[in-house]
């Protein structure tokens, strides 16, 4: 008889990781701050994993990339669904990282960007609910850190690149949409937003972010809440 091979079971982490999302208009400094934050957390001995959306490395992400670079044209709703699909395809790995590995995730943009950008297009400006609906039920962030900067100041930071949304009027509309989404989340009371003045120096912004994130990680560890569902009641049972 062939002896049974004992199944390899990884040790369960003491607690799940925190899911931190950095949001803001283009050129607000999210990407720089996300990588500084990862280094800071690792320096504290905490596991930290970087994620970003859109994730252009997948097949869906490649379609998004072509669209953003104006190499293809797509209907506004179709591209919104692609951005959402790009998050859904990452959701199992995201959950695994938080729950099975107990690592914290620092995510550069997520569903709020999805809704803010798409609903800033004239064809979707009256369809905020439809834009949100596609992302309902995704893993919910434990904190949104919004890097706030006036559009004029963001634009001065070396100017926008040539991508589709990097235009003054669009960015102004997106900033307004983010405020609206913040109000909606605050009313709902499940996802805390932290507004950081992104016009400060890199170091000043970094200090504020580190403090917010350390508190959030502590809260997640002490409260032992499961990963939430975005814009949705927890499922029972
Ligand atoms: P980034 O790689 O962070 O520079 O993002 C690329 C651009 O796509 C940027 O202008 C923001 C926009 N964007 C990010 N996520 C979404 C989304 O889910 N939907 C839409 N419509 N735009 C998005």
Two structure tokens written together for 89 = 């395809």
pLDDT band at 235 (very low <50, low <70, confident <90, very high): low
Ligand 1 within 6 A of CB of 53: yes
Q: Output the average pLDDT for the chain.
A: 94
Q: What is the pLDDT of residue 192?
A: 98
Backbone φ and ψ for 122, nearest 5 degrees, come out as -50, -40
Say what the pTM is. Answer: 0.94
pLDDT: which is higher, 102 or 5: 102
Alpha-carbon distances of 11 from 97, 99, 102, rounded to whole Å: 14, 12, 10
Does residue 120 have its Cβ closer than 6 Å to ligand 1? Answer: no
CA 114 to centroid of ligand 1, rounded, Å: 7
Ligand 1 atom 4 nearest Cα: 26
Cα-to-centroid distance, 137 and ligand 1 (Å): 20
CA 217 to chain centre: 16
Contact call for residues 116 and 177 (beta carbons, < 8 A): yes
63, 109, 116: residue to mutate for ligand 1 pocket, most atoms within 8 A of CB: 109
Distance 51 CA to ligand 1 centre (A): 14
Ligand 1 touching residue 113 (CB < 6 A): yes
- Please give the distance, rounded to the nearest whole angstrom, from the Cα atom of residue 116 to the centre of ligand 1: 9
* Domains parsed from the chain with CATH numbers: 19-223 (3.40.50.300)
Cβ–ligand 1 contact at 177 (below 6 Å): no
Average pLDDT over every residue of 21-44: 97
| Ligand 1 contact via 61 beta carbon (within 6 Å) | no
| 178 within ligand 1 shell (Cβ under 6 A) | no
Are the C-beta atoms of 91 and 135 separated by less than 8 Å? no
User: What share of the chain has pLDDT > 70, as a percent?
Assistant: 94
Q: Look at residue 11 in the predicted model and tell me its pLDDT.
A: 80
pLDDT in tens, 174-200: 999 999 999 999 999 999 999 999 999
pLDDT at 109 over 60: yes
pLDDT mean over 150-179: 89
**Does 19 sit in the ligand 1 pocket, CB within 6 Å?**
no
């Amino acid at each position: 008889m062939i002896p049974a091979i004992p199944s390899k079971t990884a040790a369960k982490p003491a607690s799940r990781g925190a899911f931190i999302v950095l949001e803001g208009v283009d050129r607000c400094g999210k990407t720089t701050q996300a990588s500084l934050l990862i280094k800071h957390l690792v320096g504290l001995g905490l596991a930290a994993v970087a994620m970003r959306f859109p994730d252009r490395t997948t097949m869906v992400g490649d379609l998004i990339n072509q669209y953003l670079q104006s190499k293809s044209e797509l209907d506004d709703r179709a591209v919104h669904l692609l951005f959402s699909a790009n998050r859904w395809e990452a959701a199992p790995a995201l959950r695994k990282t938080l729950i099975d590995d107990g690592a914290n995730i620092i995510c550069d943009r997520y569903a709020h960007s999805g809704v803010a950008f798409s609903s800033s297009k004239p064809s979707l400006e009256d369809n905020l609910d439809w834009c949100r609906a596609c992302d309902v039920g995704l893993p919910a962030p434990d904190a949104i850190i919004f890097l706030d900067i006036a559009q004029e100041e963001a634009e001065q930071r070396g100017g926008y690149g040539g991508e589709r949304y990097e235009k003054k009027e669009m960015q102004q509309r997106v900033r307004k949409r983010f405020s609206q989404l913040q109000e909606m989340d605050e009313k709902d009371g499940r996802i805390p937003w932290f507004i950081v003045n992104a016009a400060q120096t890199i170091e000043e912004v970094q200090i504020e972010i580190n403090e917010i994130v350390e508190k959030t990680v502590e809260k997640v560890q002490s409260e032992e809440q499961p990963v939430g569902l975005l814009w949705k009641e927890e499922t029972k049972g």
